Structures are given as structure tokens and as C-alpha cells.
Homo-oligomer: A and B are copies of this chain.
Amino acid sequence: MPVPLQSQSTSSDAVFVEAVGRRLAEVLDVHLQRAETISASARPMVESIARLSASGKRMRALLCWWGWQGAGGEPDHPGILDAAVALELFQAAALIHDDVVDRSDTRRGAPSVHRSFESLHRRSGWRQDPAHFGVAAAILTGDLCLALSEELFAEAAESVGTGPAARERFNTMRFEVMVGQYLDVLDEVEIPAQDPQVALDRARTVLRFKSAHYSTVHPLALGGILAGAEPTLLSAYDAFSLPLGEAFQLQDDLLGVFGDPEVTGKPAGDDLREGKRTELVAHAMDLLSPDEGAELDARLGDPQLSADQVARLQELLEHSGARARVEAEVSDLGGQAVAALSELQVPATVHEGLSDLAQRILSRRH
């Protein structure tokens, strides 16, 4: 199981993270009752959202909260708590569908939602194909979760009086992450670009839209927009959050290949079996000999890769120098984020909170 974020965080962070968890449970309990008025058989939809969203690093919620405070918002306003919870629900929805798309069996150290619906089917002795039922139920549950996230976000934005501007940014976030995920899937199946620079550019587009904007840039900006931030503050936020988000995703790419399954909660080499065309892979294709490059290219995306084959691909990514390149990039981007943060005109508590959060993100192990 992932190490809980709270243990490493400042005390105000920890208080907010706890409040997010409580409010999430409360909101989902209302929806559970709402589902039950239709049919008790619908409970597993809401229950699976509750189970999935009970854990998580709450990075987006925290960034939204600090972004709000940096623009003068009161830290304990119920509207910002709900907006943060809405971001966590959006993330849960994205994960539910992402795991179907990536055929991932586990998430946060537990079975992914489609796998848990598949188990429910088997346990219950139902008819037809358990795996297809799992996928169907997860698609519909993800849709429900997507709707619930937007419902809560719109209400929260309305309650703080910045509805239209905040909703517009929320819409941009959704649009970018869905398009980014599609491009990610496309990169796994398309014939890879021969030109190393084109391959790197493609990987960077996916990284930026699927992840960096979504994981750090939009959450921080949304907090600011909800509190009525001026454009200059929002630009200063971006200068910090964009390199931070890119570093976050590059580390995620490293963890997807070299991460410890005990800590990440995902099988070793998961990204290799999925065939993710990350910057790490693009660098390796550029650096490896033609034979080794062809070997990497041929094996990537084989869902049946053995542990030995995973180890061999890890070795290729390591000795090519691709891992070192990406680690250097993470360090460079981290430096840019820290430098931008030092120039951010926000109260000291916000500065400290963002600095702590950035440090945790930059030294993440899961």
C-alpha cells in the first residue's frame, strides 16, 4: 500500500487532507442514498467510487487549496473544500476509465474498478462473460463519477461567486485530459516516429496535456480563479506549476518502469507491458544501437512480458543513458519550479505550503 501522504506533510496540509476525505465520504453517502431510491442493486456503482477515492495523495486538492489561499481565499471556506473534493472525484473518474483503457488490474494497491466488478460477477454466480460485465460496469461507473465531479464543482464555484470563469477552466482541464489520454493510447499503437525529435515532441505533448496541465497547472489555477485571482498571479502560478507537473509526470514514467511494486501499488514494468511511448522510451530509441532499439521497440506493448523480459527492457533503458537523461530533466524542471516559486507574491504560509508540496512531489516514490 502507498505510504499515506499525511505522515510527510505539514500540519495544516494534514488537516485539509483529512477534511477532503471526510467530505468525499459524506458526498458519496448522499449519492448512495440517491442511487438506492432507484434500486438497491445500484449500490456497487457508488460504493466502488467511494472505495477508490478513499485513498490517494490529494495532490490536486491541495494545489487547488493553496491556489485559493494565494489569491486571498479563506482556508476553511466550505466552497473550496467542495471544489477540491470535485477534483478528487474527477481524478477517480479518470482512473476508472484509464484502467479499462490500459487494461490495468490494480490501482492504489487494490483491484481496479473493472476488475472488482468482474469479481462481483464471479462471486455472485451471474451469467455471461464476467470480464465484459466488469468493463461495462466500470464504463458506466466512470460516467457517473464524471457527472458527480462536475455537479459538485459547479455548485462549489457558484457558492464562491466565480462560477463561469471557474467552470471555463474546469472545462479546459477536462477537454485537455481526455484528448491527452487519447493521444497517449494512439502513441502506443501508431508506428513510432523515426525522427528522435518528432518522437520526443509527441511524448512531450502527451505528458503536457494528459498529465502536467491536469495534475498541477489546472488545479492550482482553479483555486486561484475560484478566489478571483488577477491574470498576473495566474501567470506566476503557471511558471511554477508547469515545470512541477512535467517533473511529476516524468517521475511517474520512471516509476512505471523502475518503481517498486510494494510502494507504487502497481506491478513492476506496467508501462512496458502497456507500451507507453514516454520520453524515457523516446530517449532510449535515440541513444540505443539499432539492434537494441529494435529489441526495445519489438517488446514494448507486449502484455505477456515475463519478469525476465521486463528486467531486460529496464536494463536497456538504464544502460542507454535514457534513465539518466530523464532524471536530469526532472532535476532541471524541479529547479525551474523552485525558482518560480521563490518569486511568487503570496502570503508566507502559502509559500511554505507550496514549497513543502513541491518537495514531496519532486521526491515522490509512488
The smallest beta-carbon distance between A117 and chain B, in angstroms, is 10
Q: Is the Cβ of B127 less than 8 Å from the Cβ of A182?
A: no
Q: Is the Cβ of B182 less than 8 Å from the Cβ of A140?
A: yes
Q: Is the Cβ of A185 less than 8 Å from the Cβ of B97?
A: no
Q: Is the Cβ of B140 less than 8 Å from the Cβ of A191?
A: no
Roughly how many angstroms separate A186 CA and B150 CA in the complex, as a whole number? 26
Q: A126-B189, A189-B128 are in contact. Are A139 and B100 (CB under 8 A)?
A: yes
A158 at the interface (CB under 8 A from B): yes
Q: A126-B190, A126-B191, A171-B147 are in contact. Are A140 and B39 (CB under 8 A)?
A: no
Specify the chain B residue showing the minimal Cβ separation from A164: B158
Roughly how many angstroms separate A45 CA and B38 CA in the complex, as a whole number? 33
The smallest beta-carbon distance between A192 and chain B, in angstroms, is 9
A178 at the interface (CB under 8 A from B): yes
The smallest beta-carbon distance between A124 and chain B, in angstroms, is 8
Cβ contacts A87-115/B at 8 Å (1 or 0 each): 00000000001001101000000000000
Cβ contacts A154-180/B at 8 Å (1 or 0 each): 100010000110010001001110111
A205 at the interface (CB under 8 A from B): yes
Q: Which residues of B contact A275 (CB under 8 A)?
A: 128
Number of copies: 2
Q: Which residues of B contact A6 (CB under 8 A)?
A: none
A181 at the interface (CB under 8 A from B): yes
Roughly how many angstroms separate A301 CA and B137 CA in the complex, as a whole number? 17
A143 at the interface (CB under 8 A from B): yes
Q: Is the Cβ of A39 less than 8 Å from the Cβ of B205?
A: yes
Cβ contacts A65-92/B at 8 Å (1 or 0 each): 0000000000000000000000000000
Q: A38-B180, A205-B38, A301-B128 are in contact. Are A189 and B121 (CB under 8 A)?
A: yes
Contact of A133 among B41, B143, B185 (CB under 8 A): B185
Roughly how many angstroms separate A33 CA and B164 CA in the complex, as a whole number? 22
Q: Which residues of B contact A179 (CB under 8 A)?
A: 35, 38-39, 42, 45, 144
Cβ contacts A294-338/B at 8 Å (1 or 0 each): 000000010000000000000000000000000000000000000
Q: A100-B139, A103-B132, A127-B301 are in contact. Are A183 and B39 (CB under 8 A)?
A: yes
Specify the chain B residue showing the minimal Cβ separation from A167: B154
Q: Is the Cβ of B182 less than 8 Å from the Cβ of A42?
A: yes
Q: Which residues of B contact A148 (CB under 8 A)?
A: 175
The smallest beta-carbon distance between A185 and chain B, in angstroms, is 5
The smallest beta-carbon distance between A11 and chain B, in angstroms, is 36
Q: Which residues of B contact A143 (CB under 8 A)?
A: 97, 142-143, 146, 178
Q: Which residues of B contact A146 (CB under 8 A)?
A: 143, 146-147
8 contacts between A and B (CB under 8 A): A38-B179, A39-B205, A41-B186, A42-B182, A100-B139, A127-B189, A135-B135, A151-B171
4 closest cross-chain pairs (CB), A and B: A126-B189, A101-B136, A147-B174, A144-B178
Instruction: Please name 6 further chain A to chain B contacts, defined as beta carbons within 8 Å, in addition to the given A35-B179, A137-B185, A148-B175, sorted by A numbering.
Output: A41-B183, A42-B179, A100-B136, A137-B186, A143-B146, A144-B178
Instruction: Enumerate chain A interface residues (CB-CB to B < 8 A).
Output: 31, 34-35, 38-39, 41-42, 45, 97, 100-101, 103, 121, 124-128, 132-133, 135-137, 139-144, 146-148, 150-151, 154, 158, 163-164, 167, 171, 174-176, 178-183, 185-186, 188-191, 205, 209, 275, 301
